[in-house]
Amino acid sequence: MTPNATATSPAYLNPHLLVEERVADLLSRMTLEEKVGQLMLWDAREEDLSFINTRQPGSVLHILGAKINRAMDLAAKNRLGIPLLVGEDGIHGHSFWKGATIFPNQLSLAGAWNTEMLEKVGRVTAEEMCPTGIHWTFSPVLCLSRDLRWGRTGETFGEDPYLIGEFASAMIRGYQGEGLNDSTAVLATAKHYAGYSETQGGRDSSEADLSRRKLRSYFLPPFKRAVKAGAMTFMTGYQSIEGQPSTVNHWLLVEVLKDEWDFKGVVVTDWDNVGSLVKQQKICANYAEAAVVALRAGNDIMMTTPEFYEGAIEAVKTGRLAEVEIDAPCARLLALKFRMGLFENPRRPDLERAAIEVNRADHRAANLDAARQSLILLQNNGVLPLSLSKVKTIAVIGPNADDDMSQLGDWCLGSSQHSVEAGKQPREKTTTVVDGIRALAPNGTSILYEKGCSIIDDDLSSLPAAVAAAEKADVVIAVVGDHLKFIGETNSTATLELQGGQIALLDALEKTGKPMVVVLVNSKPLVLPASAKRAAAILEGFNPGMEGGRAIAEALFGEINPGGKLTISIPVHVGQQPVFYSQVRGQHGTTYADMTQEPLFPFGHGLSYTSYRYSNIVLQTPVLKSGQSAKFSVDVENTGKRDGVEIVQAYVSDLVTSATWVNKALKGFARIALAASEKKTVEFELSFDAFEIINAEGKNVVETGEFELLIGPSSRDSDLLKASLRVE
């Protein structure tokens, strides 16, 4: 029996009974008000926690540390003592816990193409969240990048549905550990379900112009993969599709997710989505009506809409909603709490343990490893790695060279999602680019640092000092990118140009004639000016986290060999949107009249300090019958003088389809280590459903006919070897 159970205790407190029995017993004892309260996820940032007794919410968020103990004490005093489920935004680390390990953002992590590393990121984050009293993280993001102006692009894994599903599944495994009763694990949340990233003009949460076929083709597959990976919570998007906000989309939440995919977890709305039905989207006249449509659409938990409480109760008492319609989502949540063992162990904060967990050396090492693997060398004329015998003076210039917040990016202390009063992550926990260069530069090397300009305004007062430093140097490291003001939720941009004085800075640095290495510290792809495109080298870090500066310095000095690859295309011009690689066939012409349609750097691109040769593609199954897997291999040789890691990519192209389809789609990849001069045979096996399309009726089908398998180092056609395959 549990510590609180006795021989005469109610059945729901008996851990030896089946979960279904415990749920039924507890539900039978609950009042309407208690049931409605369970469906509410309450914002607990205010000091006054009396709502826990007056509204009896099932879950809370934005509450940390000792304050959670107060909340749990209050919940234990409620009539039935139902434990709280405590959620928080652990997006790329324990975001809002001071001193926690903050990893690179999702887009940066994706550049490693390494599911084992992503699982480790999830595991470390869970290990740091759990002792602080958190049970549930609102991560990972499974949105599909489309218009790069969207402020939340950096929260995605990029532009490819297959990769997103693989990477998200890895993080889910890391977060959820050994299962629901693992006390070192947190619940993962697959978000935002679904189509939220298909914006108009890149504007956040605007109407998404999507058909059900388009959803099934590109946006839903990663979420289906997340169900298979065991994700126990799904979060709805803010946007609407064909006139229906995600919050009221019964087809999406019930017919597909719960019925077709057999999802057994809970669906939570995003922030005040039910309130938005009344206040912003204006499809409901009042909160009683909003409660009815939200519940009937399949939502189980309503995030931060306090008006839902009175609205739902009113709807039942006036006959617009049957109480049994509240019973079903309440039962789903209670079942989750029972399976997590929260009635026996509410998983209170252990702040002594938390102090140990968030300072573990192996967590910092995992963060550095993630930053190293995620770096992407976009361009290099041979200047990198820096020749230490020739380079004695280095000018480190740029607004992001020593900006810890730009390096950490969105969703951490100091970003827009948390109050200014909460402060920011300790500066000493973050190694900026200039910190890393100073730490790793050989003795006798002179490091000159100047900010050069601002990102948030056109102030160029520090430009002359930056130019003077560059003129004294043997090489210039120009660290540019974006700023928290121009990224994140609600912060979409009309342009992708470098903001503030950065273009003027790069132009001026180029005129010094000194070799220039451009280091990008940015949330999402940016359009680069001509001076940057002509740079000796370009290294992409995105938001590389607390250890990003060290990893970047190691790459500059050649201590590591960059091996990351883009999971998102970098455009030449903002007007090329959309520029993702998997375009649907059928366009007239191949270019714009005034410029190329090709990206500056395509999906899958990434260079190395060595070189690789692909050859000898061998297809073991040239004719594929229903249900068979396609087996094939390719030889990859390191033809350079340095050891390296290559990311081998396998694409499928269905040459003739009954409905329009993409030119090619990634279906497999392999991350392989190759010593200098080493050759390996890389083997692939693609399941039969890798050859599916979504036909005009919205059905998943593999059609007979000719296919091409394309294998190489990027999505660029000229980089790919081809083999023909026929499906019969």
Residues designated catalytic: 270
Instruction: For the beta carbon of residue 509, count every other beta carbon within 10 angstroms.
Output: 28
Spatial distance between the Cα atoms of 229 and 559, rounded to a whole number of angstroms? 36
DSSP β-bridge partners for residue 268: 235, 301
Query: 452: phi > 0 → left, psi -120 to 50 → alpha, else beta; which?
Result: left
Residues 6+ away with beta carbon under 8 Å from 626: 688, 702
Spatial distance between the Cα atoms of 158 and 605, rounded to a whole number of angstroms? 13
Instruction: For the beta carbon of residue 328, count every other beta carbon within 10 angstroms.
Output: 12
C-alpha gyration radius of the chain: 26
* Burial bucket for residue 271 (CB in 10 Å: 0-12, 13-18, 19+): middle
Q: How many CA atoms lie within 13 A of 418 on its CB side?
A: 23
> Distance from first CA to last CA of the chain, Å, rounded?
60
- Which amino acid would we find at residue 254? V
Spatial distance between the Cα atoms of 390 and 475, rounded to a whole number of angstroms? 10
Spatial distance between the Cα atoms of 23 and 15, rounded to a whole number of angstroms? 11
In 3D space, the residue among 441, 466, 453, 457 whose CA is nearest the CA of residue 516 turns out to be: 466
Largest interatomic CA distance in the chain: 85
Spatial distance between the Cα atoms of 361 and 357, rounded to a whole number of angstroms? 9
- List strands edge to edge, sheet with 665-674: 623-624, 721-727, 705-712, 644-654, 665-674
C-alpha pair distances (Å), 112 with each of 172, 246, 409: 17, 32, 18
Q: How many CA atoms lie within 13 A of 7 on its CB side?
A: 0
Instruction: For the beta carbon of residue 283, count every other beta carbon within 10 angstroms.
Output: 17
Residues 6+ away with beta carbon under 8 Å from 147: 197, 199, 201, 202, 577, 578
Q: What angle do CA 159, 170, 661 make, to 5 degrees?
A: 30
Residues 6+ away with beta carbon under 8 Å from 459: 453, 500, 501
